[in-house]
Amino acid sequence: MAKRKNESPVRVEEILQDLMIVQLGLAGVPQHTIRQIVRVDMNRVARIVTHLKKYGVQDAKV
């Protein structure tokens, strides 16, 4: 099977959005504000931030 060349940029963009959601979630930014900043669906934000809370990820204070 041939690889689809147009899939890579979309995946990179999605990964970067997920990383931004994680970082904002760790910073304590409210979910609705994260949704407005990253411009994604609220379900996606809730799914990612819920995992942070579920596994007890603490804020990394420097």
Examine residue 40 and state whether it is found in any structural domain, yes or no: yes
Give residue 40's pLDDT band: very low, low, confident or very high (50, 70, 90). Answer: very high
- pLDDT, residue 2, reads 59
Examine residue 13 and state whether it is found in any structural domain, yes or no: no
Examine residue 12 and state whether it is found in any structural domain, yes or no: no
Could you tell me the pTM of the whole model?
0.74
- Print the domain residue range for 35: 19-54
Examine residue 3 and state whether it is found in any structural domain, yes or no: no
Residues 45/39/59/51 CA torsion (nearest 10 deg): 20
Buried b (16+ CB within 10 A) or exposed e, 19-38: eebbebbeeeeebeebbeeb
Is 24 a residue whose pLDDT tops 90?
yes
Total domains in the fold of the chain: 1
**Higher pLDDT pick, 35 / 8:** 35
- pLDDT, residue 62, reads 37
